[in-house]
A = this chain, B = another copy of it.
């Protein structure tokens, strides 16, 4: 590489400075999922982005689910996954698999990857330090849960001591039983409890479109009011609903900015944070 090229690289670092200053000491809750969690190259890119954030003074907190891997393991032991309104019907045996896959496999694999690339991660689920206390979901879905309270002390401690918390979306019931909770919704509640400065949802779409399926109508800034209307009108649908609702929950609890971004793009996290315009849909109050 010649000097010119090196200087160009240095310039890029310097261009990031105003963003680094802005976010120094801030907490970002990042919902990690979709292609960014399965594609090897994307996975590495996200992990590196997260580690970089930590080194430049941001406290990233990762939240993840792991639906596809759960279904795959269920099938390996002869159980057919069943969903109602997008929520997995979770009998006791399914819950056991959910917990093993999320807390034992997906979570620890992410932790191992972060450590490998030079970060210091800790993998947690809702049981650890009673992080996520859950109640049963009102529907007839078995051990599906909803967040009751978040005990954020442990996360503050880990952030302060230089660790990156990685959190599997499993809740802890009042009798110590496990609950399967939607990871989007855990991310929203965590952002609220941590008084995070950003909630970022990594998805497999470019953002929210005004016209369904038409990327040219990407909404870069979506107000709560309009988001609610779009949900009511069915224009925000399926798996996007819990993501938008998590954003609204966080916004209403004082998180200033929430973002729905395309995890299929390389380094979408850095792009969202280190560019003025951002790259996906920002939900704002």
Contact of A52 among B17, B99, B175 (CB under 8 A): B17
Question: A20 CB to closest chain B CB, in angstroms?
Answer: 5
Chain B residues whose C-beta falls within 8 Å of the C-beta of A265 in the assembled complex = 3, 7
A37 at the interface (CB under 8 A from B): no
Question: A66 CB to closest chain B CB, in angstroms?
Answer: 11
Number of A residues whose C-beta is below 8 Å from B? 72
Interface string of A5-29 (1 = CB under 8 A from B): 0110111111111101100100000
A38 at the interface (CB under 8 A from B): no
Question: A55 CB to closest chain B CB, in angstroms?
Answer: 5
A127 at the interface (CB under 8 A from B): yes
A122 at the interface (CB under 8 A from B): yes
Question: A86 CB to closest chain B CB, in angstroms?
Answer: 24
**Chain A at the B interface: SS class:** helix
Q: Which of A100, A113, A124, A176 has the most CB of B within 10 A?
A: A100
Copies of this chain per assembly: 6
The answer for the CA separation of A103 and B170 in the assembled complex, in Å, is 14
Question: A134 CB to closest chain B CB, in angstroms?
Answer: 11
Q: Are the C-beta atoms of A120 and B116 separated by less than 8 Å?
A: no
Interface string of A249-283 (1 = CB under 8 A from B): 00000000000000001110011001100010000
Query: Which of A104-112, A189-197, A226-234, A237-245 is found at the contact surface with chain B?
Result: A104-112
Chain B residues whose C-beta falls within 8 Å of the C-beta of A48 in the assembled complex = 14, 17
Question: A12 CB to closest chain B CB, in angstroms?
Answer: 4
The answer for the CA separation of A108 and B154 in the assembled complex, in Å, is 16
Q: Are the C-beta atoms of A130 and B157 separated by less than 8 Å?
A: no
Q: Are the C-beta atoms of B99 and A3 separated by less than 8 Å?
A: no
8 interchain pairs (CB within 8 A)? A6-B275, A9-B274, A11-B267, A17-B117, A55-B56, A56-B56, A77-B77, A116-B176
What 7 A-B pairs are tightest by C-beta distance, nearest first?
A104-B104, A116-B176, A10-B267, A100-B104, A100-B100, A112-B176, A12-B12
Interface, chain A (partner B; CB < 8 A)? 3, 6-7, 9-18, 20-21, 24, 45, 48-49, 51-52, 55-57, 73, 76-77, 96, 99-105, 107-108, 111-113, 115-118, 120-125, 127-130, 154, 157, 161, 163, 170, 172, 175-178, 265-267, 270-271, 274-275, 279
Additional pairs, 6, CB under 8 Å, beyond known A13-B52, A104-B107, A157-B157: A6-B279, A7-B266, A14-B45, A14-B270, A103-B103, A120-B129
